[in-house]
Amino acid sequence: MVWLAISLARRRKVIGAWLERAGFTVKNLGPNPSPLPRDAVVISDAIARQTLPWFHPTSFPNHFTLGTDRTKPKHPTAKMIRTPIHPRRLVAALLPAARPLDDTQMAKLPSYRFPSGLKVLVADDDALNRDLAVARMTRLGLAVRTAANGAEALQAVLEERFDLILIDHQMPGIDGIEATRRIRALPPIRGTIPIVGVSGSDRQEVREACTLAGMDGFLLKPLNNARLVEVLERFLPA
């Protein structure tokens, strides 16, 4: 049995489905204390201790934590599973602590994809950046529309409904900051779409300007696959 202590509902659901398809029994840890055997296989994320204050991962030798290449496990006994997560790598990481899969079972594991029907708007004045973002998100099962500037982004928001907007903070004409202000002035549904700013600058004043304009998150260029997936998981509806 594999126990999940994962805060993001989408990630928890996807990982649970992968493991169940591979033949594992999966249970989610809740806010109330659960009696776990010491040899329990547990997968947690970085903020599990905040949402599950009773959970003490150091008690479990078969404890896995999710993180990027820059993440350092907070618990020295934890084994790292790198994000973005691929089902085969996930299962391979669990093999020493759980039963192995044969080749047929491994072949059944799906690639990481979001549910169909989700749509993202990518606004960037650099065509190469737009193409790279489209290629990455299309492989994840997302529908993508692009805009080359803030004016095109505003027009797209008026024409279609999006689940998320990724917008370059600095573009000719109407930039991402001003476009975000105008989108936030629109009526609900359109005016409340999650917006993530994208920038080649990591200066604090740039981040603050994006936040003050009404953006919900921030991504640094060049886009990192792991960080992109984390942002998509955070802001796209479950």
- Taking only the tens place, the pLDDT of each residue in 54-84 is 777 666 678 888 877 566 655 555 688 878 7
- Residue 147 in this model has a pLDDT that exceeds 90: yes
The whole-model pTM stands at 0.64
- In the beta sheet, which residues pair with residue 217? 196
Q: Which of 115, 157, 122 is nearest to 136 (CA)?
A: 122
The pLDDT value recorded for residue 63 is 82
Running DSSP on this structure, what letter comes out for residue 96? T
Q: Which of 77, 89, 93 is nearest to 38 (CA)?
A: 77
The pLDDT value recorded for residue 210 is 96
Gap between the Cα atoms of 176 and 126, Å rounded? 13
Q: Which domains does the chain have, with CATH numbers?
A: 2-108 (3.40.50.2300), 119-235 (3.40.50.2300)
Gap between the Cα atoms of 97 and 187, Å rounded? 51
Cβ pair 11, 33 in contact under 8 A: no
The pLDDT value recorded for residue 141 is 87
- Residue 99 in this model has a pLDDT that exceeds 60: no
More confident site: 9 or 207: 207
Cβ pair 37, 61 in contact under 8 A: no
Question: 3-state DSSP call for residue 145?
Answer: strand
- Residue 32 in this model has a pLDDT that exceeds 90: no
Residue pLDDT, tens place only, 166-202: 999 999 999 999 999 999 999 999 999 999 999 999 8
User: Which amino acid, 41?
Assistant: V
Gap between the Cα atoms of 67 and 90, Å rounded? 12
The pLDDT value recorded for residue 162 is 97
Tell me the chain's radius of gyration from C-alpha atoms: 20
The pLDDT value recorded for residue 105 is 56
Looking up tokens 């065509």 gives 127
Q: Which of 87, 12, 86, 83 is nearest to 43 (CA)?
A: 12
In the predicted model, what is the mean pLDDT of the chain?
83
More confident site: 128 or 238: 128
Question: Going by C-beta distance under 8 Å and a sequence separation of 6 or more, which residues neighbour residue 158?
Answer: 186, 190
**4-13, 104-113, 224-233: the lowest-pLDDT one:** 104-113
The pLDDT value recorded for residue 169 is 94
The tokens describing 220, both together, are: 């640094």
pLDDT band per the 50, 70, 90 thresholds, residue 33 = low
Question: 3-state DSSP call for residue 185?
Answer: coil
